[in-house]
Amino acid sequence: MSDDLTLNLWKKNLGSVPETVWDRTDLTSLILADNGLTEVSERLGELISLRMLDLGHNQLTHVPESLGNITGLSDFLYLHDNRLTDLPHSIARLRKLRYLNAGENQLQSFPEPLCELSSLVELRLTQNSISSLPDCIVHLKNLRELHLRNNQLTTLPHSIADLAELRHIDLRGNPLESLPACIADMPKLEKLDLRWVHSLPSQPWFSTLEVRGCLVYR
């Protein structure tokens, strides 16, 4: 008998989440995507058995701080395609989370609480207005994919090179002016995507990566 208890309310035109949903403390997966939601109750934090939560494709301007109570959230957290200008500070408590998508929002800066997500394998922050990455990103020791397409980045911090597990960096469509040469020393990098970047001159270390088998898309 499976221990997976999923409630799939995708695209049900809910407008708001029925209170009965918050009574389902046994749920391991909750899908509320594409429902025109403008808010989510603090009762979200009562769903402490969740391993996957999908709040994508809504109209949320904030996510409740009680999100941080769901410390077992490990598989996926989808917050993409909303109107978020920040993420709750409590998200830092989701130390088991492996995948986060907060793309297509209105983030002006990289939410530093994300630096505490030490289990994160894939981070998607595409189509925001992020202009820089903090040095604390170095704490994401298990990160393999970093998707930053269509932001406002002009460079990356040198600490990016300390992410020894990173395989894929997507920087498409950013106004990059420079990149640290130490990226060439990243041991497992397989793809550096720089398409639609017109402001960055070709770097001599690109060939170092390519000789090693890393794909550099320009």
- Going by pLDDT thresholds of 50, 70 and 90, the confidence category of residue 1 is very low
55 exposed, middle or buried (CB, 10 Å; 0-12, 13-18, 19+)?
A: buried
Is residue 180 predicted with pLDDT exceeding 60?
yes
Mean pLDDT of 196-208: 96
Q: Supply the pLDDT for residue 4.
A: 83
Residue 35 has pLDDT above 60, yes or no: yes
Mean pLDDT over residues 169-180, rounded? 98
Instruction: Please give the model's pTM, rounded to 2 decimal places.
Output: 0.97
pLDDT higher than 90, residue 147: yes
pLDDT tens-digit map of 109-138: 999 999 999 999 999 999 999 999 999 999
* Domains in the chain with CATH codes: 1-93 (3.80.10.10), 131-218 (3.80.10.10)
Burial 120-153 (b: 16+ CB within 10 A, else e): bbbbbbbbbebeebeeebbbbeebbbbbbbbbeb
Average pLDDT over residues 48-62: 98
pLDDT over 50 (residue 201): yes
The token duo for 57 is: 């494709």
Percent of the chain with pLDDT over 70: 99
How do residues 70-117 score in pLDDT, each as one tens digit? 999 999 999 999 999 999 999 999 999 999 999 999 999 999 999 999
64 half-sphere exposure, CB direction, 13 A CA radius: 15
Q: What is the mean pLDDT of residues 137-163?
A: 98
Distance CA 111, CA 134 (A): 9
* pLDDT score of 182 more than 80: yes
Amino acid letter, 168: H
Residue 19 pLDDT level (bands cut at 50, 70, 90): very high
Q: What is the mean pLDDT of residues 179-184?
A: 98
Mean pLDDT of the 148-161 span:
97
The 29-31 sheet, strands edge to edge = 6-8, 29-31, 52-54, 76-78, 99-101, 122-124, 145-147, 168-170, 191-193, 215-217
Angle CA 208–212–218, to nearest 5:
60
